[in-house]
Structure 1
């Protein structure tokens, strides 16, 4: 049994760290002699901070929470006037405690959930909690699919200074997810109101730009109004804001049956059709590549790998203009040993799901086993890949974050997706018998980003333990966009005898706290 992780309790609000400031320094500018004049001015490299941030880990020391974000960081601004909170699980008391204490009773809070059955215990608990707050309104999302969930995780904020903000993240709105589990956050800048002079042109609607993001976000929010006008007032208000500073493509799922063709530019594509369409606009480097899918849940996909490979993986790797070879796929998912050694021990495992008990699930494990990799990358039986070791500082925080990242020959990143969507047909959808139609069961939301969105000819690279890339990387002339990594590199493949964590199984070997899992 491995030793328990070292613990240090501290406030979830982290202070600025000098190492982050030092790593963000730009190279010294060149001096220009008066005579003779320089014929060529060297390009001054830009170092661009990670568009993804990690959430703070409660039991970690400050040096492992550099640039990390707490829920209070997101909601503690006394200027917040209205908050729309979209999620799967909600603790109303926990949510309300993170608003500014002087203004929390004045913030108009809207909670969007997916518990459509009126006798659902989770719905009844939500209603009981929210009844204590006069400023909280509950909204049940339109749920046309019986086996779907309202799994999206998003905050939309309106402030008294006439700015708005969209925050897409991976944590349920419960204490467990915001304390010792690894989660990720993407947020827009504070968005100003549009001026009358701003008229978008056709050229502004490219994928990855702010206007396209706004269109897709509004189309997503309008889908909640299919039966009842849940989000109508908020959509009408959000339409008046300027999204031009946003860099990223919205990748979302809306339950129901949808056309997978993108003939109408005013329509949005959902699920696997949406990511496939967006990735056609994303340049990828020539040469070999890996697409690493890191999730907290793997649903029952079928006894063959048809859906996994032909629907999901093919959508994540559309043909490239460089005629690069097909990428190799790797899936990061924790083992029982990694759950046992996590900060909360077995208690972390209740949020992490894969089943292997039925005959179909046993066959699924057989075809998934060759592509399964560790979360912590420090297990005794795992097979560590070649490469320099980089520690992300999250190996003992069990994963609830979901990332899909394409690496180019292990050095740079072609694109990255932060999303609520795990590996499941419910989340990504599946083709129906009707040609050109997709069926999706769940609500999901995420953001796709790539280096060229931030600077021409930029490179994106993995960075660890802070949000700023360092100087010791790549060509001197290239701008660098950092991507904050939730897991360490190189990856470690499952050993022959290793299996994934199964929350519905029984584990009698004690975790580091001495508990067992029944």
Structure 2
């Protein structure tokens, strides 16, 4: 007796459609699984059976071909609905229905498949070849903007030639030895103001000794500092000039570089001897003892605009190669003549912070505008209206009156007070993830949690206080890490700070299996409010968990004291789905 082949109602086909990519049949009755075995690379963020499609007799008789989808993997998936362009995120155990024309992203922004009829599958290939317009162009284009950034085709349209000056830098980047594919980095390496959301994501930094799948979409310092840069402002705490110039040769060709640092006097003397002649060194004043300049950021001025980067790594070898780190970046154009006086919240954030650093001013000659003076006012010339984050900074001093909510966690409190969140985040928990722990007390931890719990639900009810989880590696994690016990040098805290009794109920263990970074000890600092796998907001910062970094209220809450300089990029809930697919 011959065995009958199960009947098929439709197919899952990759977007864009590759002739070498097999189509996956969806059964009329029974279960169809989609997972890691269907991918071209071994990405462990995707489970072997990541989603299940459940066919039924009712589905086979329906013109829509509706089948039930169940998420069985640990990471969420996204469904882009036919016609409405609505993006729905489904987490572990959640269910929905998939109809013909809908698109699944196995990881938000990555690994896209379209669900098509049996007799319409050929139309996908025709559309990709430009032979017809039978499928919805808008839907295809939307997927291309958000699909896996490692796929070459998604970035062919992102390349922008900035002239002959770029060619030498591209040649240098080709010789830079990396273990992961490099095509996904081209939107970063080339300055480009774009609505393409793939260029605006937060990124993890590349880690040596990890398998290629773990470095998918990650970046090195040589990827970020690329192109025809006219002025570079680098902000850091520690810097190794010898390593920096060898790891990022493009820096040698930038006409003007300002390095803002927190090095000791001995370190400054060494840098003065080794720095290129066109570099300016600046260490901001620290008016309160035990403070540091700890901010980690870059500002790169191009002929066509400016690139702003907030990151978590000191400018030293180990922190750009051996540790879990992250960055956010975005490119902004020059303002048009009729918009010179139009401001945005991000512009105010940036200019305010640069002005308090009191950096030395210097003159430059730019191709697009001629002679210009580089100071805080210079950065008012760029159009930040499309910024997807707010910039928050900590500035040392005793802040009172109108400045009480200008810096640190008090500014975060003020920003959150203007945000509206889904009711699911009412009393939802907080997560504090960092590398060094300060001397804390329970009163201050409650103060910080109160700021991070600000905001309102859709019906104008305060979100309510969230319980924090404090995420930190254990001694065993450090011992088994890529660096061994040496990794503990970047996880600083006196034993008495760690063993405080009140902290015991907050501890949570560092783990990063889905990015392959469990053994890459964290120097990244992230803070968030969450419900399950849904995030209300996300903060990437240089700030560790300390009063010195975040600030503390004094004198019956009328004064706010901060010891150190820090910088934070705050991502609101409205952009979470699009800009955090890889963290």
- TM-score with structure 2 length normalisation? 0.62
1:181 to 313, 323, 338: 323
**Which position in structure 2 is the counterpart of 1:91?**
240
- Is 1:406 matched with 2:529? yes
What displacement does 1:23 show?
2.5
**Which position in structure 2 is the counterpart of 1:127?**
272
What displacement does 1:125 show?
2.6
**Which position in structure 1 is the counterpart of 2:554?**
432
- Is 1:371 matched with 2:519? no
SS in structure 2 of the partner of residue 417 of structure 1: strand
Change (3 A) 1:105 1:481: closer
**Which position in structure 2 is the counterpart of 1:508?**
none
- Is 1:286 matched with 2:423? yes
- Is 1:483 matched with 2:570? no
**CA distance in 2 between partners of 1:152 and 1:21 (Å):** 30
**CA distance in 2 between partners of 1:199 and 1:66 (Å):** 39
SS in structure 1 of the partner of residue 500 of structure 2: helix
**Which position in structure 2 is the counterpart of 1:76?**
226
- Is 1:214 matched with 2:301? no
**CA distance in 2 between partners of 1:178 and 1:217 (Å):** 25
**Which position in structure 2 is the counterpart of 1:25?**
112
Contact 2:416 2:455 in 1 (8 A): no
What displacement does 1:259 show?
2.6
The Cα offsets for residues 436-480 of structure 1, whole Å up to 9 and x where unpaired, read as 22111000001111231x4xxxxx4xxxxxxxxxxxxxxxxxxx4
Return 5+ residue gaps in structure 1 as ranges: 1-15, 32-41, 206-210, 378-389, 455-459, 461-479, 487-518
What displacement does 1:57 show?
0.4
Which structure 2 residues correspond to residues 145-224 of structure 1 after superposition, within 5 A? 145-159=288-302, 161-189=303-331, 191-198=332-339, 211-224=344-357
**Which position in structure 2 is the counterpart of 1:354?**
493
1:65 to 198, 212, 215: 215
What displacement does 1:85 show?
0.6
**CA distance in 1 between partners of 2:482 and 2:239 (Å):** 22
**CA distance in 1 between partners of 2:109 and 2:414 (Å):** 39
**CA distance in 2 between partners of 1:437 and 1:163 (Å):** 38
Q: Give the structure with the larger helix fraction.
A: 2
**CA distance in 1 between partners of 2:108 and 2:544 (Å):** 34
Change (3 A) 1:24 1:237: farther
The Cα offsets for residues 161-217 of structure 1, whole Å up to 9 and x where unpaired, read as 23211100000000010011000000012x21111111566xxx7xxxxx1011111
Contact 2:454 2:462 in 1 (8 A): no
- Is 1:393 matched with 2:516? yes
Contact 2:391 2:570 in 1 (8 A): yes
- Is 1:269 matched with 2:411? no
Change (3 A) 1:422 1:24: same
Contact 2:471 2:510 in 1 (8 A): yes
Contact 1:139 1:230 in 2 (8 A): no
- Is 1:312 matched with 2:448? yes
Counting matched residue pairs gives: 396
What displacement does 1:274 show?
0.7
What displacement does 1:107 show?
3.4
**CA distance in 2 between partners of 1:23 and 1:282 (Å):** 28
What displacement does 1:158 show?
1.1
Contact 2:431 2:528 in 1 (8 A): yes
SS in structure 2 of the partner of residue 213 of structure 1: helix
What displacement does 1:270 show?
0.1
**CA distance in 1 between partners of 2:569 and 2:462 (Å):** 26
- Is 1:54 matched with 2:193? no
**CA distance in 2 between partners of 1:333 and 1:158 (Å):** 36
Contact 1:150 1:442 in 2 (8 A): yes
**CA distance in 1 between partners of 2:563 and 2:293 (Å):** 9
Q: Give the structure with the larger strand fraction.
A: 2
**CA distance in 2 between partners of 1:271 and 1:224 (Å):** 15
Contact 1:105 1:135 in 2 (8 A): no
Structure having the higher Rg: 2
Change (3 A) 1:259 1:327: same
**CA distance in 2 between partners of 1:93 and 1:21 (Å):** 39
The Cα offsets for residues 113-145 of structure 1, whole Å up to 9 and x where unpaired, read as 134x6xx22222322322xx1122111212111
Contact 1:56 1:179 in 2 (8 A): yes
What displacement does 1:484 show?
4.5
SS in structure 2 of the partner of residue 239 of structure 1: helix
SS in structure 1 of the partner of residue 420 of structure 2: coil
- TM-score with structure 1 length normalisation? 0.70
Contact 1:75 1:100 in 2 (8 A): no
**CA distance in 1 between partners of 2:411 and 2:201 (Å):** 21
The Cα offsets for residues 261-319 of structure 1, whole Å up to 9 and x where unpaired, read as 479xxxx71011111011112222223522111010110124xx11111x211111025
- Is 1:444 matched with 2:566? yes
**Which position in structure 2 is the counterpart of 1:338?**
477
Return 5+ residue gaps in structure 2 as ranges: 1-39, 44-106, 121-137, 147-196, 364-372
Contact 2:528 2:537 in 1 (8 A): yes
Contact 1:87 1:154 in 2 (8 A): yes
The Cα offsets for residues 350-378 of structure 1, whole Å up to 9 and x where unpaired, read as 01112224xxx47x62111111111137x
Larger relative contact order (CA 8 Å, sep ≥ 6): 1
1:142 to 267, 281, 285: 285
**Which position in structure 2 is the counterpart of 1:110?**
258
